[in-house]
Amino acid sequence: MPSKIITNALKEKRTVLTEIESKQLMSEAGMPVIESGLAKTKAQAIAMSKKLGFPVVLKIVSPDIIHKSDSGGVKLGLSNSAQVGRAYSEIMAAAKQAAPGAKIHGVSVQKMASPGVEVIMGMSKDAQFGPVLMFGLGGVFVEVLKDVAFRIVPLVRRDASQMIREIKGYPLLEGYRGQEPANITVLEDLLLKLSDFIDKTPEIKELDLNPILAYSDGAVAVDARVILESQA
Amino acid sequence: MSKVAESTANKLDRVFNPRSVAVVGDKRAIGYMWLRSLIPFKGKVYSVQIDPNELPGIEELGVENYLNLMDIPGPVDYVIASVPRAVAPRIVEDCIQKNVGGVCFFSSGFAETGTEEGIRLQQVITDQARDAGLNLIGPNCVGLYNPEIGLRHTEAQAYGEAGPVGFIAQSGTQATLFSLVGQHHGIKISKSVSYGNAVVLDSSDFLEYLGSDEKTGIIGMYIEGVKDGRRFLDCLKNVASRKPVLIWKGGETEAGARATASHTGALAESGVVWQTVTKQCGAIRVECLDEMIDVIEALLYAKPGTGNRVGLVAMSGGQSVAVTDTFAKAGLDIPLLTEASYKRLASFFDIIGGSYRNPLDISSTFFMAANGVSNLNSMLDILDKDPNIDCIALELFPAVRPLNNDPETKDPVLEAVSDFNKRTGKPFVVIVTEAYSDALASETREKLVGRGIASFPGFERAARALKKLVEYYQFHPEQSLVEAG
């Protein structure tokens, strides 16, 4: 049985899950995801921020807005209630301007993650070979340099281990110039967990966990995007 | 899984090792190429041809002709059909009635033309063959080559002696070229197949068959596309864990324009996915015919090894620099030798007109020295014993006297290199560049490979082949060497 998140979205004839839904789904799959919640009003956003602890990040939650930061829908490093309140208003105004008529669920409030090495894990489907898992360093490394490695699902430990070491930026994960090294075993475990989940969840068409912050003692995904197969 | 797939390996045994072959539609216009290719065939050969104008030519070749496949008195294991496409469905029907082992359609003009009639005819013969469980190879291909029994697809192909290399090619030209070029590189074929449009039997079927064929130790593949990716993946994983499989994917640069909404989707285009499949299964990816030939030659003749560090020996200062650059660019290391090696080298090495850090520039110590051959032996042995060195590459000039002397007299350089090749436990490759004379260089290389020495026409090709060999054994440290045929 697929997760309720998937069945609900398909019932509503949606193939793009919201960030909150995507994160919940990943959390159900056993992936570490940053704690966050959905606030539908400014007051809820402030209350939630206090509960999670400052600093926080606010992001627009809308099934119609995929590129959140391009449309002014992301505010980082908010360290008190006043900043959260102002950010909420700005995000709503920007969303209305950038995407008039877009359906808006509210904002996601999440704890600001401590800095780590940014990595990306993702999946897409190849017409011939089915689900393909990707690993790379996040940000400019994936977008500009395309420094990524792939493996066909399902992965075994050797695949996970090799694909992490295959990228050119691997030395950055080992701790470059005094930066905290990433725990490679943790990343391997996450790739295997993700592979296992994808193998069991054919409803997913594409997926990005970007970025995942990798630390010496763990990792946490701070954003997730899941796209479902459209049902015929 | 189709009826064909279930027991393909067993069913293909009959068609790959036929005792009788029928050629349908061979004719003067193509020089009776099929019947001629079958002149050395060890079993029965029949012709099926209804055009009376063609009969004298067929008779001249001493082949019995029949007007219909059904009229052939004995069983027919393999049919080669070279007929106009419109006749194909009738031939397929006859093959089914005759219960043949399999049929290869040389005929083209099917779906590859993109025409309505071609697509329709292809669907017709596909359905016929699938329903009846007929082993149909092609259409639009040249089918099988089994040199041991003289089953060929062109007169130029060798026969009589088989080797350990299997080849599976979607293109007929690549299958033919591989067999012809391979002959000059010490590559002898066990069985090969070209399978064209792959409407019934696809690459996975042939990979499965050659994977379980005891006479095949290495498999090369030229693939343009597969029908069932997951089956291919499982099959490749399975076979590549037992024997080296090389994959040359045609059409890799084709842009895979697809609408995607994720980073992952945008980056995972088809060429990258094929590279991933090859890597993940522990197969070897090659990018052209030359590389296919080179890596197979290295696997056949060089010893297995998992280390990246190469000891280089070149015939001059300039070549030392060039070979070092090329091997380093290919991802191999050229380390310093141990102090013990340097001490031994210092005892006899002539540093006027030479040097021995690594690379070893041996012009004065070998090329110009009276006791050059014994010096060469010593130098190679030092590299062989040096723990800093995993692989050895030696450049030879084709004109080095007396390598190309009268074949009756024993050639001391060839003997020395050949003896070293036998006693070294490390991957050893020889490079004879074409810089001086193509003909002389290739003659020298053939002589070397004839003595079981992996030899290459240039630094790039040697470096690339050695790198692939090392990567292969790094992935499969347990795999032992397949003996050269």
Structure tokens at B305: 């090894």
Residue B79 pLDDT > 80, yes or no?
Answer: yes
Q: Does B259 touch chain A (CB under 8 A)?
A: no
- The residue ranges of DSSP E strands in A15-171, in sequence order, are 36-39, 56-61, 74-78, 106-111, 117-126, 130-137, 148-152
- CATH, residue B414: 3.40.50.261
Domain that holds residue B183: 151-287
Instruction: List C-alpha distances in Å: B428 to B92, B164, B432.
Output: 51, 20, 14
Q: In chain A, which stretches have pLDDT less than 70?
A: 232
Q: Within a domain: residue B229? A: yes
Q: Quote ipTM for the complex.
A: 0.87
When pLDDT is averaged across residues B21-36 and rounded to a whole number, the result is 97
Q: Which residues of A fall below an 8 Å CB-CB distance to B?
A: 16, 66, 120, 122-124, 126-130, 132, 134, 142-143, 146, 148-152, 159, 162, 206-208, 210, 225, 227
Of A152, A159, A206, the CB nearest to B264: A206
Residue A69 confidence (pLDDT) = 77
Q: Are residues B237 and B376 in the same domain?
A: no
Cα–Cα dist B269/B249, whole Å: 14
When pLDDT is averaged across residues B29-46 and rounded to a whole number, the result is 97
Q: Are residues A205 and A121 in the same domain?
A: yes
Terminal Cα-to-Cα distance of chain A (whole angstroms) = 18
Q: What is the pLDDT of residues B384-403, one digit of tens each?
A: 999 999 999 999 987 655 45
- Judge: B261–A122 Cβ closer than 8 Å, yes or no: no
pTM above 0.95, yes or no: no
Q: In this predicted model, which residue has the larger pLDDT, B9 or B199?
A: B199
Last residue of a domain, one of A88, A111, A134: A111
Q: Within a domain: residue B262? A: yes
Cα–Cα dist A117/A211, whole Å: 9
Q: Are residues A88 and A174 in the same domain?
A: no
Q: Are residues B270 and B316 in the same domain?
A: no
When pLDDT is averaged across residues B339-359 and rounded to a whole number, the result is 90
Q: Are residues A134 and A63 in the same domain?
A: no
> B281: helix, coil or strand?
coil
Nearest C-alpha neighbor of B144 from the set B90, B199, B77, B96 = B77
Chain B hits for A126, CB-CB cut-off 8 Å, are 229, 268, 270, 273
- Judge: A126–B267 Cβ closer than 8 Å, yes or no: no
Number of domains in chain B: 3
The partner residues of B22 in beta bridges, in order of sequence, read B46, B79
Q: Positive or negative CA dihedral for B58, B60, B62, B65?
A: positive
Residue B256 confidence (pLDDT) = 43
Question: Which of B232, B262, B478 is best to mutate for the A interface (most A CBs within 10 A)?
Answer: B262
Q: Within a domain: residue A29? A: no
- Judge: A206–B280 Cβ closer than 8 Å, yes or no: no
- CATH, residue A214: 3.30.470.20
Residue B352 confidence (pLDDT) = 82
Residue B341 pLDDT > 70, yes or no?
Answer: yes
Q: Within a domain: residue A101? A: yes
Q: Are residues A219 and A124 in the same domain?
A: yes
Q: Within a domain: residue B482? A: no
Residue B483 pLDDT > 50, yes or no?
Answer: no
Last residue of a domain, one of A68, A92, A111: A111
When pLDDT is averaged across residues B113-138 and rounded to a whole number, the result is 96
When pLDDT is averaged across residues B209-215 and rounded to a whole number, the result is 96
Residue B399 confidence (pLDDT) = 61
Q: Within a domain: residue B348? A: yes
Q: Are residues A221 and A121 in the same domain?
A: yes
Classify residue B82 as left (phi > 0), alpha (psi -120 to 50) or beta: beta
Q: Within a domain: residue B485? A: no
Q: Are residues A81 and A107 in the same domain?
A: yes
On the 0-12 / 13-18 / 19+ scale of CB atoms within 10 A, A41 is: exposed
- CATH, residue A53: 3.30.1490.20
Q: Within a domain: residue B87? A: yes
Last residue of a domain, one of A111, A129, A150: A111
> A133: helix, coil or strand?
strand
Backbone torsions φ then ψ of A41, nearest 5 degrees? -135, 170
Q: Within a domain: residue A195? A: yes
Q: Within a domain: residue B369? A: yes
| Percent over 70 (pLDDT), chain B | 91
- Judge: B270–A126 Cβ closer than 8 Å, yes or no: yes
Q: Are residues B281 and B350 in the same domain?
A: no
Number of domains in chain A: 2
Q: What is the pLDDT of residues B401-445, one digit of tens each?
A: 545 455 566 788 889 999 999 999 999 999 998 776 888 888 899
Q: Within a domain: residue A1? A: no
- Judge: A151–B276 Cβ closer than 8 Å, yes or no: yes
Q: Are residues A165 and A74 in the same domain?
A: no
- CATH, residue B64: 3.40.50.720
Q: In this predicted model, which residue has the larger pLDDT, A161 or B10?
A: A161
Q: Are residues B134 and B155 in the same domain?
A: no
Domain that holds residue A73: 35-111
Residue B257 confidence (pLDDT) = 40
Q: Within a domain: residue A8? A: no
Q: Within a domain: residue A15? A: no
Q: Within a domain: residue A12? A: no
Q: Are residues A222 and A123 in the same domain?
A: yes
| Alpha-helix runs per DSSP H in B38-194 | 55-60, 88-98, 116-132, 172-183
Q: Within a domain: residue A20? A: no
Count CB neighbours of B74 within 10 A. 9
Q: Are residues B271 and B122 in the same domain?
A: no
| Percent over 90 (pLDDT), chain B | 79
Q: Please list, in sequence order, all residues whose beta carbon lies within 8 angstroms of the beta carbon of residue A127, skipping any fewer than 6 positions away.
A: B229
Q: Are residues A149 and A190 in the same domain?
A: yes
